[in-house]
Amino acid sequence: MTNKKNPGDLTEVLSAAEKIYRPSKKIISQANVKDYEGVLKQAAKDPLAFWAEAAEELEWFKPWHKIIDISHKPFYKWFTGAKCNLAYNALDRHVKSKIKNKIAILWEDETGRSRSYTYLELYHEVNQLANALRRQGLKKGDRIAIYLPNLPEIAIAMLASVKIGAVHSVVYAGYSAMALAERIKDAKAKILFTADGSFRRGKAVYLKEIADQALKECKTVKRVVVVKNSQAKIKLNPQIDIWYHDFIKHEPTEAACAEMDAEDPAFVLYTSGTTAKPKGIVHVHGGYMVGVFRTIKWVFDLKGEEIFWCTADPGWITGHSYIIYGPLMAGITTLMYEGVPDLPQPDRIWRIIEKYKVNILYTAPTLIRAMMKYGTSWPAKYKLASLRLLGTVGEPINPEAWKWYYKYVGKNRCPIMDTWWQTETGMHLITPLPVTPLKAGSVAKPFPGIIADVVDKKGRSVPAGKGGFLVIKNPWPSMVRTVFNDPARYVKTYWREIKGRYFTGDVAYRDRDGYYWIQGRTDDVLKIAGHRIGPAEVESAFVSHHKVAEAAVIGLPDAVKGEVIKAFIILKQSVSPSEDLKGELKAQVRKTLGPMAVIKEIAFVDKLPKTRSGKIMRRVLKAEELGLPTGDTSALAS
Ligand code: WT7
C-alpha cells in the first residue's frame, strides 16, 4: 500500500520480472499504426502537427487559422476560427456515402428486446428530434438535460442536441432525484428527456417519478419529453410532459446542422471532486471530436467494419466518447446493452459477443472480476472467435484479472488496451496501441502527442520506480475547457497543484521501460465499480438525515467493486445507535445519491480525527482501518 499523500516517500516498486505480452504477427500486419516507437517520437517532436493531421480526417465547414491559442492559458483554445459540428461528423457526413445503409446502433436489453438503426434511419430520427427541439424554441447554447437509460433514444437525444448547437447534460439514470435536481439546477436546463421506466435486475425503475420529484425544485425546465420504454402506467401532465413519439411525430426527416465555432460547448458532464458540489466538465465541438476520433481509430484499430461493444453506460464519459460519438464518427456499429451481465445467467456477456459477433469488447475491471467469480466455464461455452481486441478502463486492473481476461476471453490472441483517461480528458491519454508490447496491469505509455510525467510536490520528475503525482505537460484537443459556471474552480482544481501542469489527481509510477502504473487517486475521491464518487457528497447525504450530526466516509478495498464505503457517523445527542438506524441511513444515502454509492459498513463513533481548522482527516481514518501508517498527522487537533 502506498502513502498517497506523500508519494515521494514510496518504497521502490520495480517491475523487474513481469512478463511481456507481444502482439501476434497478424495483429501487427493489420494495425493502423505499425511503427509504434516511430510514431511516438514523431508526435513528440511536434504534437501540434500531429493533431492538425488528425483533424484533417474529419469534415469542417470552415478551416482553422490556428491549431492552438494559448494566450489565455490554462483556458486553451483549439482549432480557432474553424466552424464544425460534432454531430455532423458522427452522422450527416456518413449519409453521403454507402455507410448510410450500415447498422449504426444495435441495441438489446436485459429482458431480451432488441432494436437496430442504420446510419440513415438514425440520421432521420435525429433530424426529427432536432426539428422538434427547434420548434420548442431551443437554440444554440441552451442546456438540455437527459436522464435516460441505455436506449437508442439517449444517443438520439444527445446527437439532436449537438446538431442544433444546444449543450447536453446527461445524468446517469442510476442517480437519485436529488442528484438529478442538483445537476439540472446548476446547468439551468430548459428541457428534460426521461423515460417512463426501465428494468434493472428484472425490477422496474420508475424514472419519470424520480424526474417529477427532481423537477419540483427545477423551475427552468419547461418541457419533459418521455420515452415509452416500459408498461408502466404513468400520467402525463399535458402542461409540461409529452411522449417522445408524439414530440417528433410530424417533424420532417431533414434538418439543418448548426455551424458551430470549434470552441463552442457541445456538452457538460458532471463529475465528483473533493467538495460536495459536482463539477460540470465542459467539452467543445472541435477539439473533442478530433481527440475521440483519433484515439478510437488508433487504440481500437478500426477499419470501418467493426462491431464495437463498450459496456459502459452513456451517462458516463466512457459512454459519451466510446459508445456514441467515437464509434459513430468512425462509421462502425456500436452495440448498446441495457442490463446487468449476469441475467438470466452469468453468460450474458459471452452470449451477446457470440450472437452479434462482437469484434472489440471495451469494459471495466469490476465487470471482469465479477465474471471471474462465476468461473471460466461460462465464457468457454461460447464462440468468442470474432473478438480481435479487448479494452479496459475506469480503475487499475489487478494483474490476475488482466491475465484472466487475456486467457479466457481473448484466448491469448487479443491484446488488451488498458486505457487511462478521465471525464476531464475526453479521450484516452495513456494507453497501449495494438502493436505495443503489454505488461499485465500497466497502462503502457502516453498516446502519441501526449507528454505525461510523474512528479513530486514541487513538480520535479521522480526516477523510475518511485511513486508521484501523475501530470500532463502539454494541452490536448479534447481537454476540459472549464468548469461550467465556475472558471476559478477549473483553474484551482487542475492547474494550481503543480505549476504549469495539468493535475490528474492520480498517483502513478513509471518503470524502467517508461511504462506507467496507475496506483489510484491522490485525493479522497472513491472509485466504486469504476464510478467516481465524492466522499463529501456521501457525507452530506448522511448529514441530511435528522439524526446525524457528523459523518466521514472512506473507501475500503473490495475484491469485485474495487472500493466500497465505510462510514463513521456521529449521532446527534440523545439518539441511540441501532441496527435499524444503520438501515435507515443506508436508505438515506441511496435516496440522495443513488445505488452506486454502496455503503458496506457504518460505525457509530463519538469523535472524528480533525485538523485544528475542523477539517475531517479521512486519511487518518483510512490508515487506522487498514492498519497502515497514518503519515503526517501534525495538523491533527488533539
Ligand atoms: C479516474 C477518472 C474515463 C474513464 C472512466 C472513468 C481512474 C481511469 C483507468 C485505468 C487505472 C484508471 C483514474 C482516473 N482510471 N482509467 N485504465 N487504470 N485507473 O472516468 O470517472 O472521470 O474517473 O479513473 O483514477 O483519474 P472518471
List, as one string, the DSSP characters of 465-500: T-EEEEEE-S--TT----BTT-HHHHHHHHHTTTTT
Which residue type sits at 459? G
How far, in Å, CA of 457 to CA of 571, rounded? 37
Total of domains in the chain: 1
Nearest atom of ligand 1 to the alpha carbon of 431 = 17
Q: Is the pLDDT of residue 236 over 60?
A: yes
Instruction: Kindly tell me if the per-residue pLDDT of 373 is higher than 60.
Output: yes
- What is the average per-residue pLDDT within 237-260? 98
Would you say residue 580 lies in a domain?
yes
Separation of alpha carbons 225 and 244, rounded Å: 5
Strand partners, 224: 192, 241
| Atom of ligand 1 at shortest range from CA of 443 | 17
**Grid cell of 550 as nine digits:** 457528523
CA-nearest residue for atom 17, ligand 1, is 420
Is residue 443 within 6 Å of ligand 1 at its C-beta?
A: yes
Q: How far is the CA of 442 from the centre of ligand 1 (A)?
A: 13
Q: How far does the centroid of ligand 1 lie from the alpha carbon of residue 410, in Å?
A: 23
Identity at 369, one-letter amino acid code: R
Beta-carbon contacts of residue 68 (< 8 Å; ≥ 6 apart): 48, 76, 77, 78, 80, 475
- How remote is the CA of residue 532 from the centroid of ligand 1, in Å? 8
What dihedral angle (degrees, nearest 10) is formed by the CA atoms of 46, 392, 421, 194?
130
pLDDT above 70 (res 4): no
Q: How far is the CA of 95 from the centre of ligand 1 (A)?
A: 34
Whether the Cβ atoms of residue 175 and residue 593 lie closer than 8 Å to each other:
yes
Residue 295 in contact with ligand 1 by CB distance below 6 A: no
392 CA from centroid of ligand 1 (Å) = 10
Which distant-in-sequence residues (6+ apart) come within 8 Å of 223 by Cβ? Answer: 136, 190, 191, 192, 240, 242
Q: For residue 430, give the ligand 1 atom closest to its CA.
A: 17
CATH number of the domain at 582, please: 3.30.300.30
Is there a domain that residue 541 lies in? yes
Q: Find out whether the peptide bond into 577 is cis, omega within 30 degrees of 0.
A: no
Residue 396 Cβ < 6 Å to ligand 1:
yes
Determine the average pLDDT of the residues in 369-378: 96
What's the first-to-final CA gap in the chain, in angstroms? 27
Ligand 1 in reach of 272 Cβ (< 6 A): no
The Cα 125–Cα 119 span in angstroms is 10
Is residue 386 within 8 Å of 359, Cβ to Cβ?
yes
Is residue 278 lining ligand 1, measured as CB closer than 6 Å? no
Which residue has a Cα nearest atom 1 of ligand 1? 422
From residue 30, alpha-carbon distances to 4, 15, 34, 303 in Å are 41, 30, 8, 9
Does residue 8 register a pLDDT over 50? Answer: no
The per-residue pLDDT for range 268-278, each reduced to its tens digit, is 999 988 888 99
Percent of the chain at pLDDT exceeding 90: 90
Distance 246 CA to ligand 1 centre (A): 39
CA 227 to CA 230: how far, in whole Å?
A: 9
DSSP calls for 131-186:
HHHHHTT--TT-EEEE---SSHHHHHHHHHHHHTT-EEEE--TTS-HHHHHHHHHH
Residue reference for cell 402525463:
236
Rounded mean pLDDT of 93-119? Answer: 97
In a domain? residue 537: yes
Residue 442 in this model has a pLDDT that exceeds 70: yes
List, in sequence order, every residue forming a beta bridge with 225; answer none if it has no partner.
193, 242
Q: Within a 13 Å sphere around the CA of 351, how many CA atoms are in the beta-carbon half?
A: 15
Q: Which helix (H) or strand (E) holds 531?
A: strand 531-533
Please give the grid coordinates belonging to residue 370: 465479477
When pLDDT is averaged across residues 276-298 and rounded to a whole number, the result is: 97
| Cα distance between residue 97 and residue 195, in whole Å | 33
Beta bridge partners of 281: 269, 483
Residue 3 has pLDDT above 90, yes or no: no
Residue 369's H or E segment, with its range, is helix 365-374
- What local confidence, expressed as pLDDT, does residue 12 receive? 39
Distance of CA 219 to the CA centre of its chain: 28
- Cell matching residue 115: 432494436
What the block records as the C-alpha cell of 284 is 467543445
Residue 622 lies in a domain: yes
Question: Position 638: which residue type?
Answer: S
| Residue 633 scores a pLDDT above 80 | no
The band of 6, judged by pLDDT with boundaries at 50, 70 and 90, is very low
Ligand 1: residue whose CA is nearest its atom 5: 394
271 lines ligand 1 (CB under 6 A): yes
The whole model's pTM is what? Answer: 0.94
Residue identifier of the C-alpha nearest atom 24 of ligand 1:
394
**Would you say the CB of residue 394 lies under 6 angstroms from ligand 1?**
yes
Q: Which amino acid is at 556?
A: L
- If you measure from the C-alpha of residue 518 to the centroid of ligand 1, how many angstroms do you get, rounded to a whole number? 9
CA dihedral 520, 13, 404, 358 (to 10 degrees): 50
pLDDT value at residue 133:
98
Q: Is the N-terminal amide bond of 344 cis, ω within 30° of 0?
A: yes
Whether 85 is covered by a domain: the verdict is: no
Is the C-beta atom of 588 inside 6 A of ligand 1? no
Note the pLDDT tens digit of each residue in 461-519: 999 999 999 999 999 999 999 999 999 999 999 999 999 999 999 999 999 999 999 99
Ligand 1 pocket, residue 423 CB under 6 Å: yes
- The DSSP annotation for 592-609 comes to HH-TTS-EEEEEE-S---
CB 9 within 8 A of CB 468: no
User: Tens digits of per-residue pLDDT, 420-429?
Assistant: 999 999 999 9
635 vs 544: which has the higher pLDDT: 544
> Whose C-alpha lies nearest to ligand 1, atom 10?
420
Could you tell me the distance, in angstroms and rounded to a whole number, from the CA of residue 502 to the centre of ligand 1? 15
496 Cβ neighbours under 8 A, 6+ residues apart: 503
Q: Do 447 and 494 contact (CB within 8 A), yes or no?
A: no
> 510 - beta bridge partners?
516
Assess whether the C-beta atom of 186 lies below 6 angstroms from ligand 1: no
Give how far Cα 142 sits from Cα of 160, 221, 601, Å: 13, 11, 42
Q: What are phi and psi of 521, to 5 degrees?
A: -85, 150
Ligand 1 atom at minimal distance to the Cα of residue 521: 25
- Residue 17 confidence class, pLDDT cut points 50, 70, 90: low
If one residue of 420, 476, 493, 533 were mutated to test the ligand 1 pocket, choosing by the most ligand atoms within 8 A of its CB, it would be 420
Which one of 270, 392, 421, 438 would you pick to mutate in the ligand 1 pocket, going by the greatest count of ligand atoms within 8 A of its CB?
421
Does ligand 1 come within 6 angstroms of the Cβ of 359? no
CA 505, CA 528: separation in Å to the nearest integer?
Answer: 16
Query: By alpha-carbon position, which residue is closest to atom 8 of ligand 1?
Result: 394
User: What is the per-residue pLDDT across 249-261, written as a single tens digit (0 to 9) for each?
Assistant: 999 999 999 999 9
Q: What residue owns the CA closest to ligand 1's atom 2?
A: 422
List, as one string, the DSSP characters of 545-574: STTEEEEEEEEEEETTTEEEEEEEEEEPTT
pLDDT at 405 over 90: yes
Residue among 124, 176, 123, 166 at smallest CA distance from 145: 166
533 lines ligand 1 (CB under 6 A): no
Ligand 1 in contact with 178 (CB < 6 A)? no
Asked whether residue 613 is domain-assigned, the answer is yes
- Asked if pLDDT for residue 1 goes beyond 80, the answer is no
Does the Cβ of 108 fall within 6 Å of ligand 1?
no
Look over the chain and give the mean of its residue pLDDT values, rounded to a whole number.
94
Nearest CA owner, ligand 1 atom 3? 422
Closest by alpha carbon to 218, among 169, 269, 252? Answer: 169
> Using a 6 Å cutoff on CB, does residue 369 contact ligand 1?
no
Helix axis angle for 36-45 and 47-55, nearest 10°, is 110
Identity of the residue numbered 210: I
pLDDT at residue 16 in the model: 43
Which residues, at least 6 apart from 323, have a Cβ–Cβ distance to it below 8 Å? 155, 310, 312, 314, 334, 336
Q: Which helix (H) or strand (E) holds 103?
A: strand 103-109
- Whether residue 422 has its Cβ less than 6 Å from ligand 1: yes
SS3 breakdown of the chain: % helix, strand, coil, rounded to 5? Answer: 30, 25, 45
The grid coordinates listed for 341 are 451481465
Phi, psi dihedrals of residue 146, rounded to the nearest 5°: -130, 115
Ligand 1, residue 424: give the atom nearest the CA. Answer: 22
Q: Which residues lie across from 116 on neighbouring strands?
A: 106
351 within domain boundaries = no
Please identify, by atom number, the ligand 1 atom nearest to the C-alpha of residue 418.
Answer: 17
User: Considering only 34-48, 418-432, 624-638, which range has the smallest mean pLDDT?
Assistant: 624-638
**Span 373-390, mean pLDDT?**
97
* Domain extent at residue 575: 524-626
Probe ligand 1: pick from 393, 494, 502, max atoms within 8 Å of CB?
393
Instruction: Taking residues 611-632, report their average pLDDT.
Output: 86
Domain-located, residue 607: yes
Atom of ligand 1 nearest to the CA of 321: 3
